[in-house]
Amino acid sequence: MYRRYCLALAFAAAAMWPAASKAADIKIGFPIPLSGPTAVYGKPVLAGAQMAVAEINAKGGVLGRKLEILPRDSKANADEAVRLSRELIIKDGVDFLVGTLTSAEAPAVSTVAKENKIVFIAPTSKSTILTDAQHIHPYIFRVASNTDVEGLAGATLMARWKDVKTVATIAPDYAYGRDSMAAFIKALKKMRPDIQIVDQQWPKLGEPDFTSFITAQMGKKPDAIYSALFAGDFVTFTKEATPLGYFKAINNRFIDGAEIGTTDEAQALGKDYPYGVIGDSYDPVLWTGNEPPVHKTFIEDLKKFTHAQYASGWSIVGYQSIYALAAGITKAGSTNSDAVSKALTGLTWDTPVGPRTFSVKSHETFAPEYWGEMIKEPGIPFAVINNPELLPKSFPATN
């Protein structure tokens, strides 16, 4: 009887062995706005990351292990993003963090990553405080552009309007908006010292009524306007500004560096889009001219993955973030964050819009965007970037 009992135990253990020896998935916590005004960007960022995971897993994963994303709705709230990140680390046991959207969320989550010694890759946050000398640490990496890069591009375009002598600005009143305007003005003063800044408006992020800001700015009669309004804020702003003649008063000389050139934003506004303004996007999606074959394939795959007629201009940063992390894990040969951090520092990896490299000094990539006039294209029911131009050509001198 005892012998049969031992044999039964042996057979049971043998049957369980494959499951027990199977390597656990590599878990990636992903706090990102999935509700509220900024979800128009947050959802496609997550979708791009999920597509990258699906592609990598289909090829065998990383180090023989599958990747798994654990998405959470941060609601674009820094406190919520921190709470979720801690929960993902402590309760869910994630190996890494990727995500957040705004420059309020990302620096807050970066602190959590530093405390827990876990690699955190930010796909979209632009504020310089995320990776400046006072806040840089071994575990934070940025895929997006920063506000110095964005401001330089915006100033380059503004400076081309030779008859513009007075400029006003409008941006959300938090780190991203403040940093963006400061960088723009600094660069513009070097290029066009003859231009005066005659007004600056600072609505809060998520402002429900821009009327007072619009009328106050129109009262200053600027020749042109530079903006950093984005997502649902830009939608609300535009629908309130257009009937008041805001864009008409400046002959559409309005530049916005907060990705209003994405297909996501253009579709959200539809026929209400202010044609003629200048917008930007990390990915123009609807490419005119010499589209790289790898990008064309990426867009076709993205449309299939998301079941969308038109792909998103935001998905690419989520996609790039996951491939960067996978490359770092592969190079490190480990999921240990200290090892992966060292592997990511100075790492170059391929993306659908060309190679990207994490700076050894700042842990961010040089990520110029595609800029251009937003026009109506035959057969497309929303505004698109005309002849997208990649700007700026290099990091500002301070970098």
d(C-alpha 379, C-alpha 123), whole Å: 32
Helix, strand, or coil (residue 271): helix
CATH T-level topology, domain 26-146+297-357: Rossmann fold (3.40.50)
Q: pLDDT tens digit string along 114-148?
A: 999 999 999 999 999 999 999 999 999 999 989 99
**Token pair of 43 as six digits:** 């959802």
d(C-alpha 292, C-alpha 55), whole Å: 20
| Residue 40 CA: distances (Å) to CA of 53, 101, 196, 209 | 21, 11, 34, 19
Q: Could you tell me whether strands 356-357 and 254-256 are parallel, antiparallel, or unpaired per DSSP bridges?
A: unpaired
d(C-alpha 22, C-alpha 132), whole Å: 41
Q: pLDDT tens digit string along 147-189?
A: 999 999 999 999 999 999 999 999 999 999 999 999 999 999 9
Q: Is the separation of the CB atoms in 93 and 27 below 8 Å? A: yes
Percent of the chain clearing pLDDT 90 (strictly above)? 90
Q: pLDDT tens digit string along 57-102?
A: 999 999 999 999 999 999 999 999 999 999 999 999 999 999 999 9
Bigger pLDDT: 55 vs 396:
55
d(C-alpha 395, C-alpha 399), whole Å: 6
Query: Fold identical between 26-146+297-357 and 148-288+369-391?
Result: yes
Query: Letter for the amino acid at 339?
Result: A
CATH T-level topology, domain 148-288+369-391: Rossmann fold (3.40.50)
Q: What's the number of CA atoms in the CB half-sphere (13 Å) around residue 272?
A: 14
Q: Where are the domains of the chain?
A: 26-146+297-357, 148-288+369-391
Rounded to 10 degrees, what is the CA torsion of 380, 308, 314, 104? Answer: 120
Q: pLDDT tens digit string along 52-69?
A: 999 999 999 999 999 999
d(C-alpha 256, C-alpha 171), whole Å: 9
Percent of the chain clearing pLDDT 70 (strictly above)? 93
d(C-alpha 266, C-alpha 384), whole Å: 7
Q: What is the pLDDT of residue 17?
A: 41
Q: Is the separation of the CB atoms in 94 and 29 below 8 Å? A: yes
Q: DSSP string of 198-217? A: EEEE-PPTT-S--HHHHHHH
**Token pair of 150 as six digits:** 């964005």
Helix, strand, or coil (residue 363): coil
Q: pLDDT tens digit string along 248-260?
A: 999 999 999 999 9
What contacts 15, CB < 8 A, 6 or more positions away? none
**pTM for the full predicted model:** 0.90
Q: What is the pLDDT of residue 291?
A: 86
pLDDT band for position 397 (cuts 50, 70, 90) = low
